[in-house]
Structures are given as C-alpha cells and as structure tokens.
Structure 1
Amino acid sequence: MKKPPSPYSWHPKHWQLGSYWMLLAGLGFAIMGAFVKAGAARFTTSELVFYRSAFGFVMIAAIVYGQGKQIKTPRLNMQLRRAGVGFTALLLFFYAIAHLPLATAITLNYTSPMFLALLSPWLLTGDQPLTRQQRLRLNLCVVGGFIGICLLLQPTFHREQWLAGGVGLLSGIGAALAYVHVKQLGIQGEPDWRTVFYFTLVCTIASGGWMLIDHVTPLRWQDLPLLCGLGLSATLSQLALTRAYRTGNTLTVASLAYSTIVFATLIGIIVWGEALSLLEIAGMLLIIAFGVLSTRSRA
C-alpha cells in the first residue's frame, strides 16, 4: 500500500514547514514594534537598537556557550555583510516606528517582499531566470505596490513626516537585501543561530558606540519590563525569521511576512487608538496584494 506523503514534505501544492515560521515571526515583530514605539518617548533610536541587540546577543551567546557550539565560520565576510545591512535597516526601521503610526511604519518596512522579488533573479543562487511575461507581471506588481504606498502616505503624513516616510521605505529596501543574505547563508550551510549571533554582535557593538557618542539615558527599574520585552520579542522573532528564510521557500515566506501588518494594525488600534481612513486601508491592501502577487510572479 502506497504511503501518503507527509504534510510537511515539499510539494507544489503545499508550503514547506519552514514557511510557517514566518507567521510566528510576524506576530513577534509586531509586538517588538509596539515596544519600540512605547520606548521612543524615553530612549533614542540608537539606544533602542542597542538594547534590542544586546538582549539578543546575550541570549544567543548563552546558548552557544552552553551547547558548545562553534562560532567560527568560513563565511565570515558574508556574515558581516549581512549584519551590516541588517543593522542599517534596523536603525531606519526603528526611526520610522518612533515617528509614524505603528501600522504605517511597518507597512513601509514590509515593502521588502516587492524589492526581494526584484532582486532575487540576480542575487539568489539556484533560482530559475524570469521569463519576459513573468518580468512584465513583476513590474506591474511593483507599480501597483507603489500606488498603494502613495495612498498610504497621502492621508496620514504631515510635511514633517515625509522624512520618516522616506526612511521607512528605505528600511524596506535594506530588509530585502538582508533577507537575500540570510537565504544565501542558508544555501552555504550556515545555521540559524550563527547568523543571528553575528547579526546581534555587530548591532550591539555599532549601536553601543553610537549611543555613547550621541546620548545615554539613565535606566530606571520601571524601564526593565519594556526593554526586556523588546529584546525577547525581537530575538525570538529573528530566530523564527532566519529559520523561515533558511528552510522555507523564499518568496512564499516573503508573502507571509505581511502578517506583521495585520498584527501591527490591531495593536495600533487597541493600544494607541490609531484609526485608519478608507484611503489608508486601501493603500495597505494594495501593498499587501501586489506584494504577494510579486512573490508569485516566479511561479
């Protein structure tokens, strides 16, 4: 009797198990964004990046030390490039969250799947080249996504918020480049924890140096729940995201990343009462729809 296929094995009609990790990462990143927005009233962007990264580094370092894992890697240059790109994207993302409504900032950051779909033919090894028809569909999806961006920015931005909006969009491009590096590291056989280890190490050193030069806010006992929540949610989400991109289908995982927008919208409404206009909702739906379609343009 023929044995039925496992629901977790890859098949054109099924997602790989790795893709589901993105849903957990999406919820975690939305929660992290809420902690960032709450902490922005007291801490600078560099301080928030430092505490987020330092918490993750201590966690990962403890696991590495406790299990006797080998942190030496033959892909050090690639790990450092991924960490540098990720650090830049993280700074831009945190700045946008601090200056924009939570759902708006995360929506701009999650334009990354569109940029990822654009970059993948050149930067992701092992993928089939796009046909002319696929390229045309992809370009149309990107144009549609940017129409959604315009609808999202038009009703919500005051003049002084355009800088934050541009920064949020740049964070999406940076995130796409970081995800490409994550996928390439997975192809080269680098484990999840090692990629997160080097990422948090570089972010901790870079943001700590910046913080010392810029500004250091004295810590109070009341700050600990917020900072621990920020660090814990960010670290667990980063691990889930890294595993999703390493073990799942890259573009399927990228489409599931949009779950963060849904979670962030709900948090923004419940916690901060951030009401959304019809144009804002239309813009967000366009970004999500064309972003998902762009990830399918290579099917």
Structure 2
Amino acid sequence: MKPAASPQLRAALLMLASMVAFAMMAISIRLASRTEPTLEVAFFRNAFGLLTLLPMLLWPVLREGGGHPLARFIASLRTAQLPRYFIRCGIGLASMFCGFWAIGHLPMAQAISLAYSSPIFITIAAAVWLGERVRMRRWLAVAAGFLGVLVVVRPWSHAFSIGTLIAVASAMTSAVVAIQIKQLSRVDKADTIVFWTYALWVPMSLLPALFVWHAPQGIAWLWLLLCGLLGTIGQLLWTRALKLGEVSALTPISFVQLPIVTFAGWLLFAERVDAMTLLGAGIILAATFYIAHREAALARKAASLAPSEAAKPNE
C-alpha cells in the first residue's frame, strides 16, 4: 500500500493543475476572441462557469442529511453583504473585460506577464485601504515590480501601445477585487463568495454583451465553453492549493502559466517574444515571489506570537 501524499505535495500538484487550467483558459480566450467580441467572451465565461460551479456547490449539500437539500443550499448561501457584492462584481467585471481584451489583442506573453503584476498593486491597496503595515523591503519589491512593468510596457519606445495600459488596468482593478474579497471573507464563507460572484456576473456581463452580440458559430462554441469550464476548475484548484500549502512555496509554481502561454502564442499565433518582455517578466515574477515570501513569513510570525500574547495577563 502506497503512503498518502503529503499536504505539501498535494498543494503543489493542485497549484500546478490550476495554472495549467488557467493557461488553457487564456488560450481558449484568445481563440474565441478571433470571432467573438471581448464582452461576449466574458459573458459566456461567466455563464458556463456558473453551470460548472453549481453541481460542485450542490454536491456537498446533497450528501448531508436532514432537511430539504434545496432549503439547506439556499441557507448556506445567505449573506448580509449583498450591496458590497454588487460593487465587488462591478469592479471584477471591469478587470475581466480589460484582461480578456489584453489576452485577445496583445502578444500572450506580454498580457500574462502584466497580469502577474497584480500582487504589487495588492500590496499598495492593502497599505492604503486596509491600513496594513508594509516595511521597507516589501516597498522595494513593489518598486522593482513597477520597474518590471515599465520594461514590459516601454512607454519611451516605438514598441509602446495603449493596449498594454489596458492590461495594467486589469492588474490594478484585480488588486482592488482581492482586497474586497479579503473583507467579504471576514463574514462569508468561500463558497458563498464564489456563488454570489458568479450569480451576479452572469446578468451584469450579459447587458453590455447584448450591444455587441455576435451569434457564435461552429468551433467558437467549444472555445467559449472551455473558457468557463477551465476558468472555474482552475479557480477551485487554486483555492484548495492555497488551503493546503503556503503562498510563498506555491507562488513559483504559479509562474508555469507564462511559459505555457508563451509557447502557445508562438505555436498557434506565430508570436515572437522579445528580450525586453522576457526581462520585464522576470523582474515582475521575482518581485511577486518576494512579496509572497515576505507576507507568508509575517503571517507565520503573527501566528506564533498570538498564543503568547493571549497568555499575557491583562494590564
């Protein structure tokens, strides 16, 4: 009988699988964007994503005994923060539209490299919005990350395009969403947050899509289906990986998405990656890894101090 895999190994495998799923989703978005408008691709990603998610949320409820399953399912998804979900979903949609446009119109390596800059903006948002204390070493990592973004975007050269700023806007709004999720998770469970996100995203993304609607034909349906399926599976695998393992240990594995989409861009779309994009991507990934490492170290330190602080007598 083989011994069970360690939690660290399972977390690493889950993270690897999630990044492969996200990379394949990005490729599907690019393929779908050849015939379908960005707003419509986003709608189908959300619609098919919700259809993928519902059975996964229902199954644990159906396995439990006592009471009507549907009533228990509805009760498990109750929230007192619905107005905040509308704000979170509105900003999330803006980030999705920008990110999908970037994947559909920029070289894939460039679009994904800039997407990795999100933790840099999260660190800034956490300091400004949540009042988190950020020390000098993380600020230096943030500055290095900005340097990496500038190297990829190159506003001083003929290689600059407005499209790269759309990719940066996606990373910035994604950081705001991450902070909002952190606030929502203080009250609601992860499944509740995911359900309400998808439940609101579907109608909210349908409205703008109607203005540019193009009836999908043939194989476009496959790419749209894969966008929703792979995106939801990747998100669920990523969540479970972070639950089992440490962010600092798993962050390097998340970088596997970049070589996959870079290779796909070369193979499927004849894209060439220039040296400056690779250099900027390397700087962004290094800064992102350091930020994740420092945050994990500080979290461990806070957890180790908590019991001793709780043991102190009241003064």
* TM-score normalised per structure 1: 0.80
Separation of aligned partners in 1, 2:126 and 2:9: 19
Q: Which amino acid aligns with 1:34?
A: I
CA contact (8 A) 2:52 2:228 kept: no
Aligned pair 1:106/2:112, yes or no? yes
Displacement after TM superposition at 1:172 (Å): 0.7
Q: In structure 2, do the counterparts of structure 1 residues 273 and 235 end up closer, same or farther at CA, with 3 Å as the change threshold? A: same
Q: In structure 2, do the counterparts of structure 1 residues 186 and 17 end up closer, same or farther at CA, with 3 Å as the change threshold? A: farther
Task: Give the alignment partner of residue 230 of structure 1, picking from 227, 231, 234.
Answer: 227
Q: Which amino acid aligns with 1:275?
A: R
* CA deviations over 1:238-271 (Å, ceiling 9, x no partner): 2223445566555666665433223222222232
Separation of aligned partners in 2, 1:41 and 1:270: 16
Aligned pair 1:197/2:168, yes or no? no
Q: In structure 2, do the counterparts of structure 1 residues 51 and 114 end up closer, same or farther at CA, with 3 Å as the change threshold? A: same
CA contact (8 A) 2:247 2:293 kept: no
Q: In structure 2, do the counterparts of structure 1 residues 281 and 113 end up closer, same or farther at CA, with 3 Å as the change threshold? A: same
Separation of aligned partners in 2, 1:20 and 1:75: 34
Task: Give the alignment partner of residue 26 of structure 1, picking from 11, 19, 44.
Answer: 19
Aligned pair 1:180/2:179, yes or no? yes
Q: In structure 2, do the counterparts of structure 1 residues 219 and 275 end up closer, same or farther at CA, with 3 Å as the change threshold? A: closer
Aligned to 2:142: 142
Structure 2 stretches lacking a partner, 5+ long: 63-68, 298-315
Aligned to 2:311: none
CA contact (8 A) 1:152 1:280 kept: yes
Aligned to 2:30: 37
Q: Which amino acid aligns with 1:32?
A: M
Q: Which amino acid aligns with 1:198?
A: W
Q: In structure 2, do the counterparts of structure 1 residues 239 and 23 end up closer, same or farther at CA, with 3 Å as the change threshold? A: same
CA contact (8 A) 2:145 2:288 kept: yes
Separation of aligned partners in 2, 1:195 and 1:263: 30
Displacement after TM superposition at 1:17 (Å): 6.3
Separation of aligned partners in 2, 1:22 and 1:176: 20
Cα root mean square deviation, aligned: 3.0
Separation of aligned partners in 2, 1:85 and 1:245: 24
Separation of aligned partners in 2, 1:119 and 1:256: 25
Q: How does 1:118-137 map to 2 (within 5 A)?
A: 118-121=124-127, 129-130=133-134, 135-137=135-137
Displacement after TM superposition at 1:162 (Å): 2.3
Aligned to 2:80: 74
CA contact (8 A) 1:255 1:291 kept: no
Separation of aligned partners in 2, 1:20 and 1:118: 30
Identical counterparts, % of pairs: 24
